[in-house]
Amino acid sequence: MKGKRQHSLRNGAKMAAAVVLSVAIVSGCSAAPKQETARSAEEQTVKTVKVQPITKQKIGEPPEQVADVVPAVQLDVIAKAGGEVTEILKKRGDYVEEGEVIVRLDKTDMMLQKRKAELQLQSSLDALEKARQDLANSKTEMANSVKKMEQALAEATKAYNKARNDYDQGLLTKAQLDQAETQWKNLTMDLELLKQKQRTLETTDALSQLETQAELARVTLQELERNLSNFDIKAPTSGVLTELPVTEGMTVQPGFKIGHIQKLDKVVIKAQLTEESAKLVRGKKELTYYVPDGNIKAKAPIKYLSDVVDAQSKSYDLELEVANNDLALKPVMKVQVQLGEEEEQIVVTVPTLSIVREEGEAYVFVLVGDTVEKRKVELGRLNELNQEVLSGVKEGEQLVVSGQHQLKDKEKVQLAGISAE
């Protein structure tokens, strides 16, 4: 019995030791998972993101607008005289120089009027010349008469003075003295009257009426000569004759449009812009234009950009002024106007997928140190993969491109492939 009890005690001790060892092992094993779980939870609170530097890229081609080529100067050729068309010297499409005759009208009647005016002028001039000669002769004769009268008066004065002396000496009778005095007085009065006539002759404009008649005849002739030149209808400017709706034998009236000339050594490129396009152009001094499927591409100064929208077209008028000495640009041609330059297409961009949109606003996340900043951005043009950023970020900053939709502003993050410490 005693042997059996000892054996049972030894077995109980072994079992107790086994139980203690098992508890110890279980306790040790359960402590390690708790530490691992705590560390894993901490790691899961730091989100992992991918970033890339913000760069400038070409967002696309410069925006363009189709435009029309029109002449800088267009003038109608207007008949200033009326008559039958006797000769047409040019044809439609010809290049004409300023002052070159295009059409001639019948001037027979005008030539007859001119001949009559020439004869009238000559008659007036002849009458004026004769009157001038007669006046000169009259003045000469008057001067001679005055001179003779003065001589006669001088002799009468001498005779009268001698008669007075002789009378005082008793050599002449009173009747003889009175006769000498009367003769002297008569000659004195006659001389004064003659000089008065001479003064009147000198001061009176006896030729004014004839001179007026001659001047009127001269003006009439000049007017007819000017009108006569209107029967040769000339080009008012140099350019291409684009219209010529006349034929020989037809009668035209003064004011009739016989042709149209387009001055093509300088042309205007006209376009109509939307408000958005007008904003791109405003402030610029020149733009680039080119002819599709052609070899013409150049810059041209902006001649005009309207400040207000046109009420009918709902657009803004744009005009470029182009020197066209080689006449390469023709009216009714279509050209493309670039509203921006190539270098203006190199802009700050971000990938479209990196943009977070909330309540109609656009945001991106930028890595600063080990945290991210939530930036509101103003977006511009868009291409397939990227979008222009007008404000909010700068070139070279680190943009979050993966994991951004789960981020908050100022949140700590870790980069993909790098464990948090």
What stretch of H or E contains 272? Answer: strand 257-273
Q: Which CATH class is domain 49-60+345-415?
A: mainly beta
DSSP letters of 273-316?
Answer: E-HHHHHHHTT-SEEEEE-TTSS-EEEEEEEEE-SS--TTT-SE
Mean pLDDT estimate for the chain? 86
pLDDT at 330: 87
Partners of 350 in beta bridges: 387
Q: Domain 263-344 falls in which CATH fold?
A: Elongation Factor Tu (Ef-tu); domain 3 (2.40.30)
pLDDT at 11: 42
| 278-283: long-range pairs with CB below 8 Å, 24+ | 278/305, 278/316, 278/318, 280/63, 280/339, 280/340, 281/305, 281/318, 281/339
Partners of 365 in beta bridges: 374
> Nearest-CA neighbor of 421 among 39, 31, 52?
39
1-15, 186-200, 323-337: segment of lowest average pLDDT: 1-15
Contact criterion met (CB below 8 Å) for 363 and 412? no
Torsion sign across C-alpha atoms 334, 339, 345, 350:
negative
Q: Where are the domains of the chain?
A: 49-60+345-415, 110-225, 263-344
49-60+345-415 and 263-344 agree in CATH topology: no
Average pLDDT in the 159-188 region?
A: 91
Checking if the pLDDT of 6 tops 50, the result is no
pLDDT at 199: 87
Burial of 228: CB neighbours in 10 Å, binned 0-12, 13-18, 19+: middle
Q: What is the pLDDT of residues 119-171, one digit of tens each?
A: 999 999 999 999 889 888 888 998 999 999 999 999 999 999 999 998 889 88
Q: What is the pLDDT of residues 299-346, one digit of tens each?
A: 999 999 999 999 898 999 999 999 998 889 988 899 999 998 888 889
Q: What is the pLDDT of residues 75-133, one digit of tens each?
A: 999 999 999 999 999 999 899 999 999 999 999 999 999 999 999 999 999 999 998 89
pLDDT at 383: 87
Give dist(CA 229, CA 206) in Å, integer. 37
CB atoms within 10 A of CB 80: 15
CA atoms within 13 A on the CB side of 101: 12
Average pLDDT in the 37-53 region?
A: 72
Sheet holding 378-382, edge to edge: 55-58, 346-351, 386-391, 378-382
The pTM for the full model equals 0.54
Going by pLDDT thresholds of 50, 70 and 90, the confidence category of residue 20 is: very low
Angle at alpha carbon of residue 368, lines to 364 and 372, rounded to 5°: 45
> Nearest-CA neighbor of 252 among 77, 91, 84?
84
Coarse DSSP helix, strand, coil percentages of the chain, rounded to the nearest 5 percent:
40, 30, 25
pLDDT at 327: 85
Q: How far is CA 159 from CA 149, 166, 185, 191, in A?
A: 15, 10, 12, 17
For 93-251, where are the alpha helices, taking DSSP H only? 108-168, 174-203, 208-229
